[in-house]
Amino acid sequence: MFSLIKLPRVVTINQVPEEFHEDSIISGYRYPHSSAMDCILSLFQLTNETLNIWTHFLPTWYFLWKLVSVVLMQTVWQHYFIWPLVVLIISSCIYPLASTCAHTFNSMSPRARHMCFYFDYGALSLYSMGSAIAYSAYVFPDKWVNNILHQSFIPVSLLNSIICTSLACYSRFPECQRPGFTKALRIAAFAYPYLFDSIPLLYRVFLCEGDGCTDNDANVFHKTHIVFATLTGFLFATHLPERLAPGSFDYIGHSHQLFHVFGVLGTHFQIMAIERDMTSRRSWLLDHSLPITFGNSLGVTLLSLLANLIIVLLFCQPLVSTPVDQQKKHNS
């Protein structure tokens, strides 16, 4: 049956518009005006996007399985204390799924490419918010619980997620004219929320000394998560290894594929660490920490989702309202 299906053609960098170019990737591009069916069929042929798609599509199912397991085993509907973990896992399902869709359908047109990645950025911001909620609930070291940072942590993280989405979406405007500025802006847009969210974690595992430092078995998994998160950021910023040998890693082994793999592994170890903190510190946190409510867990997640969706739709609106012929003239 598959022999009767005509797979979409694959082209080189000289055959696609500049806004479709990837740093140091020479070949393996999909036709820049592919149909939706062409995009789906391209999942089953080797292009420079194929592994980008599968390295996030398959983990989406793993995180969904993890979500179902937690919901069924922990009787989530009866205990507010579990909700921050559920929020983290839900956001961990959403961001690889959004990335899968973005990498699958971004070759349909220039405007589709922008819109796909707007939603991708929004999903990453939501994941940042989910991480902040889980860290606030379970990760803060004992000596920092209920301090000023802890009390303001979730509101500031909500603001950070909004700023992150706005800056990341805006960074697509000067992409062709000022690629260096675009790259720096996009890195900053995602690095800043992560670093802010990680303040209590980094202090706890690397700097804290003496009583109240919460030294437990979760710290090993937290450190592993930090290693993978650091590698993820390094790959995104440097475009290694393809920058060392342009054209040699077009299909397999380029930085964005590795970025996806290390990012997912980092999320996996993050969830494992959070689960251990939640279990081992439960009694102490229930007695001493800020109470977990609908408002500071599921409620603020929904607020973040709504805010980021509005931002994404505002950026998409000019693309939808611009006539096709005017858009083509602008792109050329």
Task: Return the structure tokens found at 56.
Answer: 């996030």
pLDDT tens profile 278-296: 999 999 999 999 999 999 9
What average pLDDT score do residues 54-72 get? Answer: 95
Can you tell me whether residue 164 is helix, strand or coil? helix
Q: Hey, how many other C-beta atoms are within 10 angstroms of the C-beta on 33?
A: 13
Mean pLDDT of 270-282: 96
Question: What structural domains and CATH numbers belong to the chain?
Answer: 48-331 (1.20.1070)
How far, in Å, CA of 309 to CA of 112, rounded? 17
Report the predicted TM-score, pTM, of the whole model to 2 decimal places.
Answer: 0.93
User: What's the number of CA atoms in the CB half-sphere (13 Å) around residue 42?
Assistant: 31
Q: How confident is the model at residue 332 (pLDDT cuts 50, 70, 90)?
A: very low
pLDDT of 181: 86
CA–CA distance, 285 with 31 (Å, rounded to integer): 54
pLDDT tens sequence across 85-142: 999 999 999 999 999 999 999 999 999 999 999 999 999 999 999 999 999 999 999 9
Query: Crossing angle, helix 110-134 and helix 179-197, to 10 degrees?
Result: 20
In the prediction, which pLDDT does 83 show?
Answer: 93
DSSP state of 245: S
Q: What percent of the chain has pLDDT over 90?
A: 84
**DSSP helix/strand/coil, 294:** coil
Distance spanning both ends of the chain, measured CA to CA: 39
Q: How far apart are CA 250 and CA 57, in angstroms?
A: 20
